[in-house]
Amino acid sequence: MKILVASIVLSVSIACVGSAEDRPNIVVIMADDMGYADTGFTGATDIQTPHLDALAASGVVFTSGYVTHPYCGPSRAGLLTGRYQQRFGFETNPAYDPANPYMGLDVNEQLFPKRLQKVGYRTGAIGKWHLGAAAPFHPNNRGFNYFYGFLGGGHDYFTIDLRKPVKEGYTEALERNGKPAVFDGYLTTALSEDAVDFVESNKASPFFLYVAYNAPHAPLQAPDEAIAKYADIEDSKRRRYAAMVDVMDAGIGKILDALEEHGLRDNTLVFFLSDNGGPQSTKSQPSKWNGSSNGDFRGGKGNLYDGGVHVPFIASWPKRIAKGSVYEMPVISLDIAATAVSIASGSDQPPTDLEGVNLMGLLSNANQTSTQRFLYWRDGGVRWSILDSNRNKHILDNPGRTPELFHLSTDISEQNDRMNAEPELAEQLRREWLSWNHSNVAGRLEPYKNYHKERDQFFLDSIPEGAKSEGYPATPVPTFK
């Protein structure tokens, strides 16, 4: 049921959330490469997500929820710093290289869990990191008391095998607080169970928990019984993808049950979102699709149409947010950091260096429709987009293409280009984007595919000519696709 925005937040002063015993626990759950339309609360009919649907019904659904980037690493950098990642040059996925102390998120940037630590929160990260694999970037060195998971951008869901080429670390050992760790069975379930353990171990004090699933990111692997549950789905990719989402949903249910069991659910703020939209097939990459659906949105992972950056987005806090709420104005993942830090510190406003807004303030503002706000995107320094509060979107998704203008309020599929009809509006948005971009820096990371090729060539070139023999090296240099 849709509730007026003005009545979403219960009539409790935000400022009262200041004492240690009253401060909420905060949980952020992030899916990986999940399509917008792949939950029940966003319209899926062939995938069962009862726990996510219940979570959505228990709080507010942001129907215009966005992330700061159309793929994994940069999106996570924006989420965890609370700042646009273009401010510090994190504009591509970093290569997995534990020996490179520069290939990661700038150590001068403070992650918001570190801010929570400073005000007494215990902090934990479970699952995918993807912000640098070397020691300076390690979660335990960036504001997390506890870490269990993997440092790269993905992992095999069943296997650890150190005999295989390292590549992006998909079969490397997991780790727990800097020490090698394993998992039994299916990785998604193991991450969920570890999250439950974290809740049980930290129930006596306020905590922040970041659960970053790699599901349903490739490889498309799921337990046989979960795949069999979706035997009626004819397409094999969609069937395996559905099974992966199903197991993740079950794991989220376990986490919520643990909060309930220990009497924590009422005063725990839980967010759920995906890091970007679901990958879709293109002419140049016909096999890119991972089985996901972005519904009516155009495009998917890797581009700046809504299919790439518009994600399922929930906030649930039974003590403060009325259940069954809907918020239609644009919000962005940056707002999670701003909200968490504000609440943890007992303040209405986040620190000025954070670029999001306190969502509790937005939800309690009866006049929020009159507040102008812009969301910004940039990828590779050349592709860009901007969205205003009226959901007017100006976009240049690829160099060489003509910029486009869409009214998302009446054209969610971005099919009716208004560029020629409304050049003045397009110019206003372009100037606003240029003003924002003035404070950005160039990307400081080499794209991971290029990086691996250059590193492999460096090692080959380092072999003296006289030492090279026919057929060397014995193991072919891996090709990254």
Report the catalytic residues.
72, 130
Residue 165 has a CB neighbour count (10 Å cut-off) of: 11
Residue 42 has a CB neighbour count (10 Å cut-off) of: 23
Angle at 67 between CA 65 and CA 68, to 5 degrees: 140
- Kindly give the pairing relationship between strand 313-316 and strand 60-62: antiparallel
Cα–Cα dist 140/239, whole Å: 37
Per-residue tokens: 284: 């140049």
H helices of 202-271, in order, are 224-229, 236-261
- Cis check for the bond before 403: say yes or no (omega within 30 of 0): no
Per-residue tokens: 226: 């979960």
Angle at 66 between CA 447 and CA 382, to 5 degrees: 40
b/e 6-27 (16+ beta carbons within 10 angstroms → b) = eebbeeeebeebeeeeebbbbb
Cα–Cα dist 248/244, whole Å: 6
Cα atoms found within 13 Å of the Cα of residue 162, Cβ hemisphere only? 5
Cα–Cα dist 18/336, whole Å: 18
Residue 25, φ and ψ in degrees, nearest 5: -70, 155
H helices of 262-368, in order, are 306-309, 334-345, 359-363
Q: What are the residues whose beta carbons fall under 8 Å from the beta carbon of 479, sequence distance 6 or more?
A: none
437 within 8 A of 378, measured Cβ to Cβ = yes
Cα–Cα dist 61/77, whole Å: 23
372 within 8 A of 108, measured Cβ to Cβ = no
Cα–Cα dist 49/288, whole Å: 24
CA torsion 343-349-352-356 (nearest 10°) is: 70
